Every structure is written in structure tokens, then in C-alpha cells.
Amino acid sequence: MQFDVITLFPAFFETALQVGLIGKAVEAGLLRFRVHDLRQFGIGPHRQVDDVAYGGGAGMVLRPEPLVAAIEQARTEARSRVVVLSPQGRLWTQALARQYARECDQIVLVCGRYEGIDERVTTYWADDEVSIGDYVLMGGEVAAWVVIESVARLVPGVVGNPESLALESFETGLLDYPQYTRPAVFRGYAVPAVLRSGHHESIERWRRLQALRKTLRNRPDLILAARWAPPPVWWAWMAEWVGWVERALEKMYPSPRSQEAEDAPDHRPD
Ligand code: 6GU
């Protein structure tokens, strides 16, 4: 698997790539990384990468030229995905990680900064826009690393024992059961006796119950999601319906902008 990261902070990834299972997988040639410094693609003597937003508002927006130049340099494989990391993206999940690991030879991760990136990059040069959760980060770098780790560990050979992939949280639909190791008693707190009984059937039953308890307490949405998830085709129907409503509304209230956009003089906000 080839990972390409486009970022204003290449240093963020330096150490991360060298340590742990990812560092080992790089040495073994299972994973390959290229980190592209967006600044190198900046415009003019100051290597400018951002500008004020059309329409006003606080903060700077990343310009399309450096981003697209970097994407075009990065994308080298046929089975590649260009992924923009942004809080407006669709939620990153284990299911998406599995899909990427299966379908891609290359993932190009575009890290946004400031107030965001020019939407034309997302619309016309990216295959996906991804968020890692409902909170706001200062940039896409941490999110890119989350995507890298979750895909990398699904690449065959990266994780030594493939059994440890199968039974984990989000693969079973429940959170993991609690684990214990020695000592049997620590500061007066004992390991549950059943785990030391050697009775495998009881251990299995106990673990299943604990997994359910923990999921019910910490992530009740997972239990609902497993039972109530609408079939994917419903989402496709809904998207089609939204498109139909949009077109009907456009006919009722024709937008003057749809003609204007073509030939409007290019008024820059400066
Ligand atoms: Cl991908 N980027 C930023 N800036 N914030 C986020 C995020 C991404 N995912 C969740 N919050």
C-alpha cells in the first residue's frame, strides 16, 4: 500500500513513520510513504498557499493551485483514492477502512488547515471527503494519521497475528471485553475468578456479557445501529429524492447565479 500525504507540516509525520508496527512494515516494504510539503507548491516568491475567502468571513482558505499540483504529483497508481480530510467529510469508520484496504493500492491524503480548502479541489480532484468525528481539529494531520493507521493494520502482513484483527471492537459490532494480566491481586483488587478457572465455556459466556455491558453503558448507539441500520439502498433513494427536490426548486425559483457564474468578471475581495 502506497500512502501519500499532502501537508503544510511534513515534520508531523517524520517520527510516526519510523516507530511501531508501521515503522516495521515500511522497512519490510509492505507500506510505502511519501510526504509532500504543500509549501513547495506555493505561489510566487513567498510560496503563498492560502488567501482570503470569497464572500468574506474570518480566516484563510487554501488556494487550489498548490493543492492540485501536489495531488497531480502524488497520484501515481491506477487504484488510488484522493481523500480530503475535513470536518465536513463523511464519518471515517472501520467499514470504510476495510473498503480502502481492499480496493486501493494508493491513498492520497490531503490535509486542510486554516478555515478549509477551496471547494473545487474537493469537488473535482478528490474521490472522498472524510471526517474522523464530531469535533473540530486545527488541521487534517491527526485525521490523516488516523486513516493511515486504521488502513495500514488491515494490509496483509502488517499485523503479525491476523486473528487479532477478526474479533475486535467494530468488527463484531460490540466493544471488546475487558482484559486482565498478572498480578492476580493488585492493591487489593482481584482479577475476576472466572478468568482463572480454566473453564473455557464460562469464560466465553462471561466475556460476551461484559462486552454487552460495556457497549450498553458506553456506546448504546452501536447496539441500535446493528439492529436498526437502514439498508444502503434507502440512502441511495434518499439522495435521488433530494436531487429531484433540488431540481424542482431550481425550476420554481431559477437562480440568477447559474448564468452569472460563467461570465461574471472576476472580482477579488482585495
Ligand atoms: Cl478530518 N479535520 C479537521 N480539521 N477537524 C476534524 C476532522 C478533520 N475530523 C474531525 N474533526
Per-residue pLDDT tens over the stretch 71-83: 999 999 999 999 9
Confirm or reject: Cβ of 59 under 6 Å from ligand 1.
no
The set of cell numbers assigned to 246 is 433540488
Least reliable range by pLDDT among 83-92, 126-135, 164-173, 215-224 = 164-173
CA of 7 to the centre of ligand 1 (A): 14
If pLDDT is split at 50, 70 and 90, which confidence band does 223 have? confident
Residue with more model confidence, 171 or 102: 102
Helices (H), the chain: 11-14, 20-27, 64-74, 94-103, 119-125, 141-152, 163-166, 200-218, 220-228, 232-252, 257-263
If pLDDT is split at 50, 70 and 90, which confidence band does 266 have? low
pLDDT of residue 264: 55
Say if CB 213 and CB 205 are below 8 A apart: no
CA of 34 to the centre of ligand 1 (A): 21
Beta bridge partners of 5: 35, 109
Phi, psi of 150, rounded to the nearest 5 degrees: -70, -30
Mean pLDDT of 208-218: 94
Confirm or reject: Cβ of 135 under 6 Å from ligand 1.
yes
Per-residue pLDDT tens over the stretch 71-123: 999 999 999 999 999 999 999 999 999 999 999 999 999 999 878 999 999 99
Asked if pLDDT for residue 170 goes beyond 80, the answer is no
Asked if pLDDT for residue 32 goes beyond 90, the answer is yes
